[in-house]
Amino acid sequence: MFSRKHLKLLLLGNAGVGKSALMNQFVNSRFSNHYRATIGADFFTKELRMDDQLVTVQIWDTAGTERFQSLGAALYRGTDCCLLVFDVASPSSFQAVETWHKEFLVQAEPLNADRFPFVVLANKTDLEERQVSPRQAQDWCKTCSAEYFETSAKEAVNVEEAFLAAVRLALNQHQEPEPKQNAVILPTQEGSKPRGKCDC
C-alpha cells in the first residue's frame, strides 16, 4: 500500500532566467524558444513515485519582476522546498539569488529557517557566453547549505535530477518532527490559573 504526499515546490529568480522553461521541461518534457513572461504566478502538477510513496508535486513559477512581489507572502507560504534560479550568462541574476533567498525566508516564515531546503539551479549552461563560474555559485551555496545543479532547460540537462533532489529534500523535511504550535488549555480547578500544556 503506497502512502501519498502532497508537496509544494517554488521557483524564484529574476525575470528571464528560465524558471518557466525549467518547469515545462520537467513536467512536460518540452522546450520552447518563445519567451513569455509569467504574469503573477503559474503552476504545474506532476505525479511521482518515490521509493514507497506516491507524491503529488505542485510546482509554482513566479514572476521575477518587482511589480508582482506583493504576491510573495501568499505564494511562498506552505512551500516545502525552494528552487533559486539564475542565468549563467547574467551576473546580475546570480547576485539577485541572495536577495531572493532572504526574501523567501521573510515572506514564507518557515518553522526552521536554518534548515529549510534550498536548491540552486545555474540555468542556460548551453550558452557560450557564460559569465558566472561554477565555483562562484558553489561557494555561495555553501553559505546556506543549498544543493547545486548546472542545468539547461533547452537541452534537458540535469533538469529532472534537480527537481527530484528538491522533492527528496522536501520529503526529508516532512519526516522530521515539527514543533507543536498550539498549546492546549486544560480545564482548571477553581482558584487556579489556566496553563498551556504541550507534549514536547
pLDDT digits (tens, 9 = 90+) for 11-26: 999 999 999 999 999 9
pLDDT digits (tens, 9 = 90+) for 113-136: 999 999 999 999 999 999 999 999
Most confident residue range from 23-37, 58-72, 91-105, 166-180:
91-105
Give the start-to-end residue ranges of the domains of the chain: 3-197
3-state secondary structure of 77: coil
CATH class of the domain at 3-197:
alpha beta
Per the structure block, which three cell numbers stand in for 53? 510513496
* Distance (Å) of CA 79 to CA 29, 40, 66, 83, 103: 24, 17, 20, 10, 13
* Distance (Å) of CA 44 to CA 10, 96, 104, 111, 166: 11, 25, 20, 25, 15
The arithmetic mean of pLDDT across residues 129-149, rounded, is: 96
